[in-house]
Structure 1
Amino acid sequence: MRLYLVTLKSTDSVTSGFLPAAAALGWDVTILTDRPEDYPGQDCLRTDVLDVRALVDTVARHHPPDVIFSNSDHAQAETALAAAYFGLPGKDWRACLSTKNKALTRRALAAAGVETVRSVRLAPGDPLPPWPGPVVVKPREGVASEDVILARDPGEFQRAVAAVRDRRPGQTLVAEEYLEGPLYTLETLGDGRDLRVLGGYRTTLGPLPYFVEERLDWAPELPGREHVLAALAALGVGLGACHTEYVLTDAGPRIIEVNYRVIGDNCDFLLADLLGVPLFEWILRVHAGEPAPVPPPGTGHGAAVSLVADRSGVIVAGPPEQAGESGGLRLWHHALRAVGDRVELTRTNRDYLGLLRVIAADQAAVDDAVDKFRKEQPWLLS
């Protein structure tokens, strides 16, 4: 079985998730990337992964493909079209576009009668519409909470748009009504016929006006689940993993965004451990045309905690990589930075210093373990 894995920058999901999963399945892997230096020791072909013509041409002059797959936010539509060219299982390229483009997401959900959220597309140079209440400004195709800002009044709205346009010249933005309420995720896996719910998380954000995810707690109950599934059906989400963020507002559930790939920031590894399944193998296998397995219910409680810099500075101390189990408690820490690194605060997910995962029999034990780790092994900046 020959897998072509389409990717841009290196991520834990790829290097510690999908590549080991492909090896466990006995598949041959060729990485298609514009950054082969990020994948030492791997069979890589340098390719413009954001150009479907380049993807098709590169694959066609290499080994015959059995699976063409990507977990990249930015290359889903191109990968889907390349898979279709070779007659392989793949996502609907229209669904990939509609989920990645936040303006198209709002349009599709409104047209299907699933939900209506006030949203305005702001192309470069477009004047700002009148907006008296709280509004969220974000890049139309952004990731990692970059340049997502809450503006509470017209003056803040104008300044937020000007600041983002200054950092992203030529890019289209979206302004949306601020959706207030508890924030959840729904994690799904589909095979093009059945869509399985794997589970979900309750999300804790850092202080507004920014939207940095600081902690995700396993949520045995997922209020609003059926609304989210209706939204995914309207968007055409079917094959593969999907990570959806939504809010329980006073008016009912509302979609924040749909990410047509597996959840990241080590929450994918936490999900696999909570379910006790080879999640990354499952995802690859549905892209090979196999049916999606029925997931077992999650056992225990778990949390993924992002250890976030609160200011700029130089790292003078930080906890090492570690994994351990004691008395039914499992804990992992993945260091994203190193002592001596200079940190420039961005108010995005790029401010993460480390990722902590904890699984225990009850929520109190999870909370205690997180608090103890933070106290005894802090990241320190000078």
Structure 2
Amino acid sequence: MREKRKIVVVYDKGAASPGEIFKGISRLGRVVFAVRESEYVARIMPVLQRLAEVVVIDESDLAASANTLRSTGASAILTFSERMLGITAQLASELGLLFHSPEVVELLQNKSLQRERLAQSGTDVVPCRRISDLGDWYSAVDEIGFPMVLKPIKGEGSRNTFKIDDFDSGHQIVQKLLAERSVSVSKYFLVSEKFLQGVDTCKISDYVSVESVIVRGAVTHIAVTGKFPLLPPFRETGQFWPTDLDHAECLPVTELASRAIEALGLESGLTHTEIKLTESGPKIIEINGRIGGWINELSLRALGIDLIEVAARIAMGLEIDLHLPEMDKVYFQASNLAPLRKGVLEEVVGESVVRELPNISSYRLVLRPGAKLMGGVNTEEIDLLCGETKDHASMLEVLDTALNAIGFRFSFSGESVTLTGSELWS
């Protein structure tokens, strides 16, 4: 019997769990998890080792790490972790395997370079300025004005992403972030860009994402993902398929995503493109070179398509045959987010009630009681609520009922605070 092909998944915290990855890929070949040493990997290592072979890679010597992976018989490589895209691209280049090139990954991860490429190609223009010191901040104020968005030039999960409405508050935030930066970061640490004002309509939210599959340059858009409103400043609460936009409204959105994918030179893999709906038309928020968070769960329920398997097939050079059925329901996901203060999640109340609610298909905790909350500006999900309804209006009714039924007790420096889901969303 011919030995199964080995598929390397460069793993870290990201858009897919070890179990999802193993289930989606193991039917195609033998999974090898390639990991770097980190606190998170140390915690998850027993799970990885129960599922598959694990290889520890050395970030300081990726050529040697590539040789180690070559010795395992690796025939494909991919990742579902934003923070591992660069390492995966370099390993793929060393191994001669299909993945985004290092140059493409730099465009995907460097928010300033991405804006520049989109503007140079005529795809999308949003005023943007790199910030390495206070002098750059003053120039950004002159060139962009207020309101503006300030964020790390590379990052994920809305970490340290702020809306700046005036000079004084922006000056304080820039000073704080510049003081905290690591000596290992690049010269340009922050990026400021014009705040995109959403359209004032009756839609559920003023932004969407486009989930796309790219095979040898050919793009197939799996879905336009509707979004629930953000919590300040830019923290994501949930999403749903299909979007509440009609067909005519979706066309310019998917067309913009296609042009952006071409502009960045993407030839293969999955992308998650976030787009703001403005009075002057759709505008790119950012393009990500991997599957979006929790998107595979939506895809499995709504379409019966495992996007983890699709990603592996692309990496292996196999044919992709996508049949996209019509969705006869609205499939949704929602998360309660941890407060922005550091603390501890002490207790969750109402889990069993939520699980028994009509139209709720599953409820799971991402953080368990006793978990420490990181605090600060970022999207830290406590849980994931999934459901299916006949339309968008009934989805909002079900969500409202569920958020009122669930409660969380937190401890902040000895102070005990209990909040419902509805209160966390307000």
Could you tell me the TM-score, scaled by structure 1's length? 0.89
Q: 1:207 to 1:28 in 2, by over 3 A?
A: closer
Letter in 1 for 2:18: T
Report the equivalent of 1:46: 56
Deviation at 1:271, TM superposition (A): 2.6
- What are the Cα deviations for residues 318-354 of structure 1, in whole angstroms up to 9, with x where unaligned? 1559997997x3522221222233435323112x211
Q: 1:56 to 1:315 in 2, by over 3 A?
A: closer
Q: 1:342 to 1:332 in 2, by over 3 A?
A: same
Deviation at 1:273, TM superposition (A): 1.4
Q: 1:85 to 1:359 in 2, by over 3 A?
A: same
- What are the Cα deviations for residues 188-228 of structure 1, in whole angstroms up to 9, with x where unaligned? 011223211010222234343x1101122323443521012
Report the equivalent of 1:91: 100
Matched, 1:215 2:238: yes
Report the equivalent of 2:423: none
Matched, 1:23 2:26: yes
Matched, 1:149 2:166: no
Query: 2-side partners of 1:250 and 1:374: how far apart?
Result: 32
Deviation at 1:145, TM superposition (A): 0.3
**Gap runs ≥5 in structure 2:** 199-205, 411-415, 417-426
Letter in 1 for 2:256: H
Report the equivalent of 2:66: 56
Deviation at 1:160, TM superposition (A): 2.0
- What are the Cα deviations for residues 65-99 of structure 1, in whole angstroms up to 9, with x where unaligned? 11111112122233233223333222233221101
Task: Tell me which moved more, 160-169 or 210-219.
Answer: 160-169
Report the equivalent of 2:298: 270
Query: 2-side partners of 1:325 and 1:245: how far apart?
Result: 33
**Gap runs ≥5 in structure 1:** none
- What are the Cα deviations for residues 247-287 of structure 1, in whole angstroms up to 9, with x where unaligned? 122222211111100001x2331133111212211111111
- CA RMSD in angstroms comes to 2.5
Out of 271, 287, 301, the position equivalent to 1:242 is 271
Contact 2:150 2:162 in 1 (8 A): yes
Report the equivalent of 1:190: 214
Out of 312, 318, 339, the position equivalent to 1:290 is 318
- What are the Cα deviations for residues 291-328 of structure 1, in whole angstroms up to 9, with x where unaligned? 3322414511022211123464543431559997997x
Contact 2:10 2:35 in 1 (8 A): yes
Letter in 1 for 2:217: R
Letter in 2 for 1:24: R
Query: 2-side partners of 1:323 and 1:281: how far apart?
Result: 31
Matched, 1:334 2:364: yes
Structure 1 residues 305-316: aligned runs within 5 Å: 305-310=334-339, 312=341, 313-316=343-346
SS in 1 for 2:228: strand
Query: 1-side partners of 2:94 and 2:370: how far apart?
Result: 48
Query: 1-side partners of 2:123 and 2:222: how far apart?
Result: 22
Percent of pairs with identical residues:
22
Letter in 2 for 1:187: E
- What are the Cα deviations for residues 28-79 of structure 1, in whole angstroms up to 9, with x where unaligned? 121111145323223211113575324313213x222111111121222332
Matched, 1:362 2:391: yes
Could you tell me the TM-score, scaled by structure 2's length? 0.81
SS in 1 for 2:23: helix
Report the equivalent of 2:148: 135
Deviation at 1:364, TM superposition (A): 3.2
Out of 4, 8, 12, the position equivalent to 1:8 is 12
Out of 287, 290, 307, the position equivalent to 1:261 is 290
Out of 167, 171, 193, the position equivalent to 1:158 is 171
SS in 2 for 1:197: strand
Contact 1:199 1:298 in 2 (8 A): no
Out of 101, 121, 135, the position equivalent to 2:130 is 121
Query: 2-side partners of 1:200 and 1:16: how far apart?
Result: 26
Out of 83, 86, 92, the position equivalent to 1:74 is 83
Query: 2-side partners of 1:154 and 1:125: how far apart?
Result: 12
Query: 2-side partners of 1:343 and 1:109: how far apart?
Result: 36
Query: 1-side partners of 2:353 and 2:219: how far apart?
Result: 35
Contact 1:282 1:293 in 2 (8 A): no
Query: 1-side partners of 2:60 and 2:160: how far apart?
Result: 22
Contact 1:267 1:304 in 2 (8 A): no
Contact 2:351 2:363 in 1 (8 A): yes
Q: 1:55 to 1:214 in 2, by over 3 A?
A: same
SS in 1 for 2:27: helix
Query: 1-side partners of 2:317 and 2:109: how far apart?
Result: 24
Letter in 1 for 2:117: A
SS in 1 for 2:375: coil
Query: 1-side partners of 2:102 and 2:34: how far apart?
Result: 19
Q: 1:278 to 1:341 in 2, by over 3 A?
A: closer
